[in-house]
Amino acid sequence: MVIAGFAAVLALGTFLLSLPAAAVDAEGTSVVDALFTATSALCLTGLVVVDTATNWSGFGHGVILVLIQLGGIGILTFATLLVMMVSHRIGLRTRLTTAAETKTLGLGDVRGVVRGVVLLSLSIEALTAAVLVPRLAVAYDTEWSRALWLGIFHSVSAFNNAGFALWSDSLTQFVGDPWICLPIAVASILGGLGFPVLFEIGRRYTKPGGWTMHTKIVLWASGGFLLGGAVFVTALEWGNAATLGPLPVQEKVLAGFFQGTMPRSAGFNSIDISAMNSATWLGMDVLMFIGGASAGTAGGIKITTFAVLLFVIYAEVRGESSVNIFGRRLHGDVQRQALTVVLLSVAGVVGSTVVFMVSTTFTLDQALFEVISAFCTVGLSTGITAELSDPHKVLLSLLMFVGRLGPVTIASALALRRRVRLYELPEERPLIG
């Protein structure tokens, strides 16, 4: 039902963007380009095949904004409710205090979740816009009405990790401006943490020791990847004359942090992605594939999925019989679900990359970057998106749709599908390694 609902909204968005009124050109936009843009907006990706700033009219920009907001709130609500449905821990029915402590789902819980998601989303977007609007109006001599629209659009795009910008060069003109880059980065990070984590921090911020395993994993892993991504991009691009090289030291640090944050699914860029080193692309591939937290606006296989497998490896190397994380034992079902999500995602990425390699002239690093960006709903590109043929645009649209709804749907379906086996088969071990 959820997938059908998103498909219906996608069809409506495609129709509206294909209307002549949605484009600056009176002839309108092709159906394939409208489908690609609508999918990218609804699935919070940010990849574009036409220039967002110059191709779409005010009506078209409005449609894109609504699709982003619907996609963000819809996915947050959907993912959070699924977390509540599949978690069988403690019977807390009145409020969602954590992503893993609800046994049953009552009507009051649904209302509370939806209300909380909407209010939290709108509040963070409003605070981000409150910083962007005066900065754009005063520092860049923008009319207040235009600055208000730009502030609202980019705050919504940032919190929902959509990556759409109303400037043709994304945010490259603001590469050294912390009053533009940092609010957008912070909003993207908060959206990527996920609603259950934000909700629990807000209610129990004075008792971090009592936070759940999910919240602790998300915060520790997110901090590590944010710091690691920023250091990685800054170090590899420090002397690149086409990216960070010409900038002053303080602007290099700001741009490195900003661009190291964006692969988690935000999709904005303040430096030229196409001019980066191939090694930087590969590192960003990894960051994009991992993504953000479950029940958040970020994409990827989710940082909790990656962390679970990392702890599984750690326990196996140490020879431990169970996987323990932050003083809690990890359920065996979660390990199998994480492995399933990762392997299915790898299969989707590899298969699509092979299709690109045999049907285009793009290099492997370009094709892999584009496919991962689409499947993990990031929105960064090496500059080849606009050169794609219609079949490849449709393929990327499918990847964005599956990448956004697929992992969480698969994970929840696996968790909800419980079968009690009344017998066990004889045990045997194959050779591993």
Amino acid in position 113: V
pLDDT tens by residue, 314-338: 998 988 888 888 888 888 778 888 8
84 versus 235: which is more confidently predicted?
A: 235
pLDDT at 210: 83
In a domain, 432, yes or no: no
CA-CA distance, 106 to 112, in Å (whole number)? 10
| Tokens coding 110 | 């649904």
DSSP at 161: T
Residue (of 221, 157, 220) closest to 185 by Cα position: 157
pLDDT at 412: 62
Domain region containing 78:
2-415
Distances (CA, A) of 26 to 201, 249, 391: 49, 46, 25
User: What is the three-class DSSP state of 19?
Assistant: coil
101 versus 225: which is more confidently predicted?
A: 225
| Tokens coding 205 | 């911020």
In a domain, 125, yes or no: yes
Q: How confident is the model at residue 414 (pLDDT cuts 50, 70, 90)?
A: low
Kindly write down the DSSP assignment for every residue of 321-337, as one continuous string: SS-EETTEEPPHHHHHH
In a domain, 404, yes or no: yes
pLDDT tens by residue, 140-174: 999 999 999 999 999 999 999 999 999 999 999 99
The number of distinct structural domains making up the chain is: 1
In a domain, 427, yes or no: no
16 versus 94: which is more confidently predicted?
A: 16
User: What is the three-class DSSP state of 23?
Assistant: strand
Q: How confident is the model at residue 33 (pLDDT cuts 50, 70, 90)?
A: very high
pLDDT tens by residue, 187-210: 999 999 988 888 888 888 888 888
CA-CA distance, 148 to 109, in Å (whole number)? 35
In a domain, 424, yes or no: no
What value does the CA radius of gyration of the chain take, rounded to a whole number of Å?
A: 22
Whole-structure pTM value: 0.88
Q: Is the pLDDT of residue 339 over 60?
A: yes
pLDDT at 85: 56
In a domain, 426, yes or no: no
Distances (CA, A) of 240 to 89, 230, 280: 51, 16, 11
pLDDT at 417: 60
Task: Give the angle 172-383-67 at the CA atoms, nearest 5°.
Answer: 75
